[in-house]
Amino acid sequence: MGAIRRQAEKTTRVGKLVQITQFVIGPLRYLRFNYSTGDAAGQNMTGKATYAACEWIQENYPSHPRYFLSGNIETDKKHSAMNSILTRGKRVVAEAVIARDLMRRYLHVDTAELARAREIQMVGSFMAGASNNGAHAANALTALFIATGQDVATVAECHAGITYSQYYLETGDFYWSITLPSLIVATCGGGTGLPTQKDCLEMLGCYGVGKVNKLAEICAAVVLAGEMSLSAAVMHGDWVSSHEKLGRNRPVPTNA
Protein backbone atom coordinates (compact mmCIF):
# COMPACT_ATOMS: atom_id res chain seq x y z
CA MET A 1 0.00 0.00 0.00
CA GLY A 2 2.84 2.38 0.77
CA ALA A 3 4.37 1.99 -2.68
CA ILE A 4 0.99 2.41 -4.40
CA ARG A 5 0.29 5.52 -2.31
CA ARG A 6 3.64 7.06 -3.27
CA GLN A 7 2.95 6.53 -6.98
CA ALA A 8 -0.50 8.07 -6.74
CA GLU A 9 0.53 11.07 -4.66
CA LYS A 10 3.44 11.93 -6.97
CA THR A 11 0.87 13.30 -9.40
CA THR A 12 -0.82 15.80 -7.07
CA ARG A 13 0.05 18.49 -4.59
CA VAL A 14 -2.98 18.13 -2.33
CA GLY A 15 -4.51 14.72 -3.06
CA LYS A 16 -3.94 11.98 -0.48
CA LEU A 17 -4.73 8.31 -1.06
CA VAL A 18 -6.60 7.23 2.06
CA GLN A 19 -7.47 3.62 1.28
CA ILE A 20 -8.33 1.14 -1.46
CA THR A 21 -11.43 -1.00 -0.97
CA GLN A 22 -11.82 -4.19 -3.00
CA PHE A 23 -14.89 -5.94 -4.39
CA VAL A 24 -14.70 -9.39 -6.00
CA ILE A 25 -17.16 -10.47 -8.71
CA GLY A 26 -16.26 -13.81 -10.32
CA PRO A 27 -12.87 -13.35 -12.00
CA LEU A 28 -13.04 -9.56 -11.61
CA ARG A 29 -11.70 -7.38 -8.83
CA TYR A 30 -13.00 -3.84 -8.53
CA LEU A 31 -10.72 -1.43 -6.69
CA ARG A 32 -12.26 1.72 -5.27
CA PHE A 33 -9.52 4.29 -4.62
CA ASN A 34 -10.50 6.72 -1.86
CA TYR A 35 -8.79 10.12 -1.70
CA SER A 36 -8.94 13.32 0.25
CA THR A 37 -8.73 16.22 -2.19
CA GLY A 38 -8.58 19.31 -0.01
CA ASP A 39 -10.66 22.21 -1.33
CA ALA A 40 -10.79 20.86 -4.89
CA ALA A 41 -13.56 18.67 -6.27
CA GLY A 42 -10.86 16.29 -7.40
CA GLN A 43 -12.34 14.16 -10.19
CA ASN A 44 -9.51 14.86 -12.63
CA MET A 45 -6.93 14.86 -9.83
CA THR A 46 -7.93 11.43 -8.59
CA GLY A 47 -8.22 10.04 -12.11
CA LYS A 48 -4.62 10.99 -12.85
CA ALA A 49 -3.40 9.65 -9.51
CA THR A 50 -5.27 6.36 -9.91
CA TYR A 51 -3.88 5.91 -13.41
CA ALA A 52 -0.34 6.25 -12.06
CA ALA A 53 -1.11 3.77 -9.27
CA CYS A 54 -2.65 1.21 -11.63
CA GLU A 55 0.26 1.46 -14.03
CA TRP A 56 2.61 0.68 -11.14
CA ILE A 57 0.45 -2.25 -10.01
CA GLN A 58 0.33 -3.66 -13.55
CA GLU A 59 4.10 -3.42 -13.92
CA ASN A 60 4.96 -4.89 -10.52
CA TYR A 61 2.28 -7.54 -9.94
CA PRO A 62 3.64 -10.90 -11.21
CA SER A 63 0.77 -11.62 -13.63
CA HIS A 64 0.76 -8.04 -15.00
CA PRO A 65 -3.06 -7.84 -15.00
CA ARG A 66 -5.04 -5.83 -17.50
CA TYR A 67 -7.27 -3.09 -16.10
CA PHE A 68 -9.81 -0.43 -16.98
CA LEU A 69 -9.22 2.88 -15.26
CA SER A 70 -12.96 3.17 -14.62
CA GLY A 71 -15.01 0.08 -13.91
CA ASN A 72 -17.98 2.38 -13.15
CA ILE A 73 -17.98 1.53 -9.45
CA GLU A 74 -17.10 5.15 -8.66
CA THR A 75 -20.36 6.15 -10.41
CA ASP A 76 -19.08 9.57 -11.43
CA LYS A 77 -22.01 11.83 -12.34
CA LYS A 78 -24.49 9.05 -11.62
CA HIS A 79 -26.49 8.38 -8.48
CA SER A 80 -25.61 5.23 -6.55
CA ALA A 81 -26.54 3.69 -3.23
CA MET A 82 -22.82 3.08 -2.62
CA ASN A 83 -22.00 6.78 -2.74
CA SER A 84 -24.96 7.60 -0.51
CA ILE A 85 -23.69 5.15 2.11
CA LEU A 86 -19.92 5.54 1.79
CA THR A 87 -19.95 9.21 0.64
CA ARG A 88 -18.26 10.72 -2.39
CA GLY A 89 -17.30 14.32 -1.80
CA LYS A 90 -18.74 15.83 1.38
CA ARG A 91 -21.38 14.50 3.76
CA VAL A 92 -23.22 17.46 5.24
CA VAL A 93 -26.29 17.96 7.44
CA ALA A 94 -28.46 21.07 7.73
CA GLU A 95 -31.13 21.18 10.44
CA ALA A 96 -33.61 23.59 11.94
CA VAL A 97 -36.37 23.69 14.53
CA ILE A 98 -39.27 25.85 13.36
CA ALA A 99 -41.68 27.21 15.95
CA ARG A 100 -45.35 26.47 15.30
CA ASP A 101 -46.39 30.12 15.28
CA LEU A 102 -43.64 31.02 12.81
CA MET A 103 -44.71 28.21 10.50
CA ARG A 104 -48.28 29.49 10.56
CA ARG A 105 -47.31 33.14 10.14
CA TYR A 106 -44.83 32.82 7.28
CA LEU A 107 -45.59 29.52 5.52
CA HIS A 108 -49.32 29.41 6.34
CA VAL A 109 -49.40 25.76 7.41
CA ASP A 110 -49.69 24.06 10.78
CA THR A 111 -46.83 21.86 11.94
CA ALA A 112 -49.19 19.00 12.80
CA GLU A 113 -50.51 19.01 9.25
CA LEU A 114 -46.94 19.20 7.96
CA ALA A 115 -45.96 16.15 10.02
CA ARG A 116 -48.83 14.18 8.48
CA ALA A 117 -47.83 15.27 4.99
CA ARG A 118 -44.24 14.21 5.59
CA GLU A 119 -45.40 10.73 6.61
CA ILE A 120 -47.28 10.36 3.33
CA GLN A 121 -44.36 11.66 1.31
CA MET A 122 -41.92 9.25 2.96
CA VAL A 123 -44.03 6.29 1.87
CA GLY A 124 -44.31 7.73 -1.63
CA SER A 125 -40.54 8.07 -1.91
CA PHE A 126 -40.10 4.51 -0.71
CA MET A 127 -42.60 3.16 -3.26
CA ALA A 128 -40.91 5.07 -6.08
CA GLY A 129 -37.41 3.98 -5.08
CA ALA A 130 -36.35 7.62 -5.15
CA SER A 131 -32.81 8.71 -4.35
CA ASN A 132 -34.14 11.62 -2.28
CA ASN A 133 -37.15 11.59 0.04
CA GLY A 134 -37.40 15.37 -0.03
CA ALA A 135 -38.92 17.77 -2.53
CA HIS A 136 -36.40 19.26 -4.96
CA ALA A 137 -32.77 19.39 -3.81
CA ALA A 138 -31.60 19.47 -7.44
CA ASN A 139 -33.14 22.93 -7.99
CA ALA A 140 -31.11 24.61 -5.25
CA LEU A 141 -27.91 22.76 -6.06
CA THR A 142 -28.09 23.49 -9.79
CA ALA A 143 -28.51 27.23 -9.18
CA LEU A 144 -25.66 27.30 -6.67
CA PHE A 145 -23.38 25.19 -8.85
CA ILE A 146 -23.83 27.42 -11.90
CA ALA A 147 -23.28 30.57 -9.83
CA THR A 148 -20.14 29.31 -8.07
CA GLY A 149 -18.37 27.42 -10.85
CA GLN A 150 -19.06 23.86 -9.78
CA ASP A 151 -19.38 20.88 -12.12
CA VAL A 152 -23.12 21.04 -12.82
CA ALA A 153 -23.21 17.48 -14.16
CA THR A 154 -22.48 16.18 -10.66
CA VAL A 155 -25.96 17.28 -9.58
CA ALA A 156 -26.94 13.84 -10.86
CA GLU A 157 -25.25 12.36 -7.80
CA CYS A 158 -25.19 15.34 -5.43
CA HIS A 159 -28.99 15.73 -5.30
CA ALA A 160 -29.37 12.44 -3.40
CA GLY A 161 -30.50 13.21 0.12
CA ILE A 162 -32.32 12.08 3.22
CA THR A 163 -34.78 14.33 5.00
CA TYR A 164 -35.64 13.56 8.60
CA SER A 165 -38.24 15.36 10.67
CA GLN A 166 -39.91 15.25 14.08
CA TYR A 167 -43.10 16.81 15.39
CA TYR A 168 -42.68 17.97 19.01
CA LEU A 169 -45.93 17.11 20.79
CA GLU A 170 -45.13 19.29 23.81
CA THR A 171 -44.70 22.53 21.88
CA GLY A 172 -46.02 21.87 18.40
CA ASP A 173 -42.65 22.89 16.96
CA PHE A 174 -41.15 21.03 14.02
CA TYR A 175 -37.64 19.65 13.56
CA TRP A 176 -36.48 19.37 9.96
CA SER A 177 -33.15 18.21 8.58
CA ILE A 178 -31.59 17.37 5.24
CA THR A 179 -28.52 15.16 4.87
CA LEU A 180 -26.61 15.35 1.59
CA PRO A 181 -24.36 12.27 1.62
CA SER A 182 -22.52 12.82 -1.65
CA LEU A 183 -21.99 16.54 -2.23
CA ILE A 184 -19.11 17.35 -4.57
CA VAL A 185 -18.09 21.00 -4.32
CA ALA A 186 -14.89 23.01 -4.57
CA THR A 187 -13.59 26.45 -3.65
CA CYS A 188 -10.48 26.32 -5.82
CA GLY A 189 -9.63 24.85 -9.21
CA GLY A 190 -11.88 24.18 -12.17
CA GLY A 191 -14.65 26.67 -12.84
CA THR A 192 -14.25 28.41 -9.48
CA GLY A 193 -11.64 30.70 -11.05
CA LEU A 194 -13.97 32.06 -13.73
CA PRO A 195 -14.55 35.81 -13.12
CA THR A 196 -18.27 35.80 -12.29
CA GLN A 197 -18.13 32.53 -10.40
CA LYS A 198 -15.13 33.70 -8.39
CA ASP A 199 -17.04 36.88 -7.50
CA CYS A 200 -19.98 34.80 -6.26
CA LEU A 201 -17.73 32.62 -4.13
CA GLU A 202 -16.06 35.71 -2.66
CA MET A 203 -19.47 37.18 -1.81
CA LEU A 204 -20.18 34.00 0.15
CA GLY A 205 -16.75 34.08 1.80
CA CYS A 206 -16.00 30.76 0.13
CA TYR A 207 -13.21 31.36 -2.38
CA GLY A 208 -9.85 29.66 -1.97
CA VAL A 209 -8.19 27.19 0.34
CA GLY A 210 -9.86 26.26 3.61
CA LYS A 211 -13.37 27.28 2.54
CA VAL A 212 -14.90 24.14 1.03
CA ASN A 213 -16.66 22.96 4.19
CA LYS A 214 -18.34 26.35 4.52
CA LEU A 215 -19.58 26.11 0.93
CA ALA A 216 -20.93 22.61 1.62
CA GLU A 217 -22.83 23.95 4.63
CA ILE A 218 -24.33 26.76 2.55
CA CYS A 219 -25.46 24.27 -0.10
CA ALA A 220 -27.23 22.14 2.50
CA ALA A 221 -28.85 25.18 4.15
CA VAL A 222 -30.21 26.45 0.82
CA VAL A 223 -31.58 22.98 0.04
CA LEU A 224 -33.31 22.85 3.43
CA ALA A 225 -34.86 26.28 2.90
CA GLY A 226 -36.15 25.16 -0.48
CA GLU A 227 -37.60 22.00 1.02
CA MET A 228 -39.57 24.05 3.54
CA SER A 229 -40.81 26.53 0.96
CA LEU A 230 -42.01 24.03 -1.62
CA SER A 231 -43.57 21.65 0.90
CA ALA A 232 -45.54 24.50 2.45
CA ALA A 233 -46.59 25.80 -0.99
CA VAL A 234 -47.94 22.38 -1.94
CA MET A 235 -49.86 22.07 1.32
CA HIS A 236 -51.29 25.60 1.20
CA GLY A 237 -52.35 25.31 -2.43
CA ASP A 238 -49.86 27.85 -3.77
CA TRP A 239 -47.78 25.49 -5.88
CA VAL A 240 -49.88 25.52 -9.04
CA SER A 241 -51.11 29.09 -8.68
CA SER A 242 -47.59 30.47 -8.24
CA HIS A 243 -46.44 28.70 -11.41
CA GLU A 244 -49.39 30.11 -13.28
CA LYS A 245 -48.66 33.61 -12.01
CA LEU A 246 -44.86 33.66 -12.17
CA GLY A 247 -43.82 30.73 -14.37
CA ARG A 248 -42.47 30.79 -17.89
CA ASN A 249 -45.53 29.04 -19.28
CA ARG A 250 -47.49 32.30 -19.34
CA PRO A 251 -48.68 33.37 -22.82
CA VAL A 252 -46.53 36.06 -24.39
CA PRO A 253 -48.57 39.11 -25.54
CA THR A 254 -48.27 40.09 -29.16
CA ASN A 255 -48.60 43.56 -30.63
CA ALA A 256 -51.67 44.22 -32.77
CATH of the domain at 102: 3.90.770.10
Q: Is residue 68 part of a domain?
A: no
pLDDT digits (tens, 9 = 90+) for 78-107: 999 999 999 999 999 999 999 999 999 999
Q: What is the CATH number of the domain that holds 13?
A: 3.30.70.420
30-60: pLDDT as tens digits: 999 999 999 999 999 999 999 999 999 999 9
**pTM for this model (two decimals):** 0.88
Mean pLDDT of 144-157: 96
> Is 72 within a domain?
no
Number of domains comprising the chain:
2
pLDDT category, 254, cuts 50, 70, 90? low
Note whether 90 and 47 are same-domain residues. Answer: no
What pLDDT was estimated at residue 87? 92
Task: Give 175's strand partners.
Answer: 97, 166
Instruction: State the residue range of the domain holding 10.
Output: 2-60
| Structural domain includes residue 93 | yes
Q: Give me the pLDDT at residue 252, please.
A: 62
In this structure, are 126 and 213 located in the same domain? yes
Same domain membership, residue 34 and residue 140:
no
Query: Sorting pLDDT into bands at 50, 70 and 90, what band is 208?
Result: very high
pLDDT tens readout for residues 210-252? 999 999 999 999 999 999 999 999 988 887 887 778 777 666 6
Does residue 70 lie in a domain region? no
SS (H, E, C) the chain: CHHHHHHHHCCCCCCEEEEEEEEEECCEEEEEEEEECCCCCCHHHHHHHHHHHHHHHHHHCCCCCCCCCCCCCCCCCCCCHHHHHHCCCEEEEEEEEECHHHHHHHHCCCHHHHHHHHHHHHHHHHHHCCCECCCCHHHHHHHHHHHHCCCHHHHHHHCCEEEEEEECCCCCCEEEEEEEEEECCCCCCHHHHCHHHHHHHHHCCCCCCCCHHHHHHHHHHHHHHHHHHHHHHHHHCHHHHHHHHHCCCCCCCCCC
Give tens-digit pLDDT for 162-191: 999 999 999 999 999 999 999 999 999 999
72-79: long-range contacts, CB 8 A cutoff, minimum separation 24: 73/23, 73/30, 73/32, 74/32, 75/157, 76/43, 76/154, 76/157, 77/151, 77/153, 77/154, 77/156, 77/157, 78/156, 78/157, 79/131, 79/156, 79/157, 79/159, 79/160
Do 54 and 102 belong to one domain? no
Confidence bin at 256 (pLDDT 50/70/90): low
Q: Are residues 172 and 125 in the same domain?
A: yes
pLDDT at residue 239 in the model? 79
Specify the pLDDT at position 241: 81
